[in-house]
Amino acid sequence: MYKKIKTVSLKLDNKIKKELEREKLENIEEGGNLGEGKHLRFLGALVSSIKVNLIKLKILYLGLLSFVVSIALTISKHIFVVFGDPANAFNVLYNQHQAVSCPVPYSQFKKAQRHAKVFSYAGLATMILMLSFSTMITNFLMGPTEKIVAAGYNLVQESWTTLSSDVAHHSNGDGSGWIKYSAKTNIEAGETIAISLENDSWNETTDADFNSYTSKDASLLVVSNSIKLLKPNDARCSADNECETDICDCRDNTCNTSTGKSVGEACSSNSECCTSYCNAVCSYPLVLFYASGSYNGNLGGRSGADTKCRAGGAPSGYNSNNIHAFITVNSSDEIRDMPTKYSIPTNRPVSVWKSSIYTQVGNNWADLLDGEVTFEAGLNDELILTTKYVTGSNNSGAIYSTTGHIQDAASCHSWTNSTVLSLPRGGWDDSYTDPYGATIKTSGLGRGSVSNRCNGSGLRLLCIGF
């Protein structure tokens, strides 16, 4: 940088010298024109005077420019001497390329230059620190400069049925839902705008009111103008919309992520089917269920009892002609003879339909007559038929008879009498604790007398369908 400025300075000096020589020549020419004619002398003097003045202006301009360059040259020289290459700086400072001898040894100059650099950096850092410190002190004593601002506002709310601004948001986050306002005239405007607190309430009593809000928690069910909690997996259910997964498994009526297959769908095991019976496709098993009513001893015989079973309580899909009362009527119409008498298939698995669930309790008809109706190893060991039901039979499915007992009393006279005081024979699931503290579960068709008499009104009827 120093060398470039030095070159510019020398060029300016040369130009100034040339212009000075031109000025001398013009002055000489102006004097030479004095001996000519009057008019020519005047014209020549005017031209020469203009040239001289222009040359002087140019000299003045070059002189000012040279002055500025000289200052820049001096500054750059000092910077170069302090921060430049020591050898070049030494030559610049002492014109070593021209001088025969130097007043200062080069080694001493190099050492002095190193000290000058340190002091220069230190001085610059000190100046920056002092400037920063003085600024902080000034701000502390005088305080920050306050900005003068001005603002005006004008708010006009024409309608309160919709939002005028999207500044305030409902919890939905999309500005929706602001359709009810508790006041319209309680705004106070000063330096700020404030709305005073107002109390208000309203009722929302229909399914549409609750279901219209997208912020409704996903674990809530709105039905029949009420709110219900949705059920987690494994909780008992009766419909899909009761579950968080929106699936109520038909196999055990619990909330699940999947459900069983319906009748007619291809299957490979009983556990895949809602009916608990797979025969290449899901099919209907032999099913035991309670008739929907309670009765006295006069069931109307076999036909009346079958009609009561067909009136309600059976799962859907069963032909009413294939539904019969699970009772012994007389010696020619016993439970054990029902496959022959009513074409009941004996090779189908047996299930109990209760609480809208099929629970398999036997592999075939024979399992029903083996002394235990519902308990079968590997299939079920739970108490299911806990409500006592009439059969008029013993555990093997034959008509009940014993010494000292009137046979007709066990079946309320073939289920046609509601006046006798006898207790009919029946079955149920039960449990007891043996002398060793173990719980024993029992289930049979003819375990004993039921709790209600033939002339009572609380007899329950068990039915079978296929």
- pLDDT at residue 368 above 50? yes
Look at residue 458 and give its three-state secondary structure.
Answer: coil
- pLDDT at residue 158 above 70? no
- pLDDT at residue 142 above 80? no
Q: What is the mean pLDDT of the chain?
A: 78
- pLDDT at residue 83 above 80? no
Higher-confidence residue of 222 and 61: namely 61
pLDDT band at 335 (very low <50, low <70, confident <90, very high): very high
Residue 460 forms part of a structural domain: yes
pLDDT tens digits, 407-434: 678 899 999 999 988 899 999 999 989 8
pLDDT tens digits, 166-184: 444 444 555 455 444 444 4
Do residues 318 and 436 share a domain? Answer: yes
pLDDT band at 346 (very low <50, low <70, confident <90, very high): very high
Do residues 234 and 301 share a domain? Answer: no
- Per-residue pLDDT, 112: 72
What DSSP string runs through 348-384? S-EEEEETTEEEEEESSHHHHTSS-SS-BTTTB-S--
Distance CA 409, CA 406 (A): 5
Q: 49, 83, 117: which is the final residue of a domain?
A: 83
Distance CA 113, CA 107 (A): 10
When divided into structural domains, the chain yields a total of: 3
What is the mean predicted confidence (pLDDT) over 182-194? 55
- Per-residue pLDDT, 336: 95
| CATH assignment of the domain containing 306 | 3.10.100.10
Highest-confidence segment of 15-29, 37-51, 199-213, 301-315: 301-315
Do residues 408 and 281 share a domain? Answer: yes
Do residues 390 and 335 share a domain? Answer: yes
Sheet holding 425-433, edge to edge: 389-390, 425-433, 439-449
Q: What is the pTM of this model?
A: 0.51
The region of weakest confidence among 69-78, 191-200, 244-253 is: 191-200
- Domain span at 10: 2-83
Q: 83, 102, 133: which is the final residue of a domain?
A: 83
Residue 317 φ/ψ region, left for φ over 0, alpha for ψ in the -120 to 50 degree band, beta for the rest: left
What DSSP string runs through 153-206? -------SSS-S-SSS--TTSSS------S-SS-EEESSSEEE----------S
Residue 121 forms part of a structural domain: no
- pLDDT at residue 355 above 50? yes
1 by Cβ neighbours in 10 Å (0-12 / 13-18 / 19+) ranks as exposed
Residue 284 forms part of a structural domain: yes
What is the mean predicted confidence (pLDDT) over 258-283? 93
Which uninterrupted H or E stretch holds 310?
Answer: helix 301-310
Measured at the CA of 421, the angle between CA 420 and CA 426, to 5 degrees, comes to: 95
Distance CA 325, CA 165 (A): 72
Q: 33, 65, 83: which is the final residue of a domain?
A: 83
Residue 356 forms part of a structural domain: yes
Higher-confidence residue of 258 and 43: namely 258
Distance CA 344, CA 332 (A): 16
Distance CA 286, CA 274 (A): 14
Residue 113 forms part of a structural domain: no
Higher-confidence residue of 69 and 293: namely 293
- Per-residue pLDDT, 44: 64
- Per-residue pLDDT, 148: 52
Which uninterrupted H or E stretch holds 286?
Answer: strand 286-290
pLDDT tens digits, 88-100: 666 766 665 554 5
Residue 188 forms part of a structural domain: no
- pLDDT at residue 287 above 90? yes
- Per-residue pLDDT, 98: 53
Could you tell me which residues are beta bridge partners of residue 229?
220
Higher-confidence residue of 350 and 61: namely 350
What is the mean predicted confidence (pLDDT) over 52-60? 77
Do residues 244 and 287 share a domain? Answer: no
What DSSP string runs through 200-228? ------SHHHHHT-TTS-TTEEEETTEEE
pLDDT tens digits, 379-395: 888 899 999 999 999 99
- Per-residue pLDDT, 390: 96
Highest-confidence segment of 118-122, 130-134, 317-321: 317-321
Do residues 323 and 242 share a domain? Answer: no
Do residues 234 and 382 share a domain? Answer: no
Do residues 307 and 418 share a domain? Answer: yes
Taken as a whole, the chain contains a residue count of: 466
Neighbours of 363 (CB within 10 A): 15
Do residues 317 and 388 share a domain? Answer: yes
Do residues 227 and 343 share a domain? Answer: no
Do residues 332 and 434 share a domain? Answer: yes
- pLDDT at residue 145 above 70? no
The region of weakest confidence among 200-204, 335-339, 360-364 is: 200-204
Do residues 235 and 303 share a domain? Answer: no
The pLDDT > 70 percentage for the chain reads: 67
- pLDDT at residue 223 above 50? yes
Residue 407 forms part of a structural domain: yes
Residue 16 forms part of a structural domain: yes
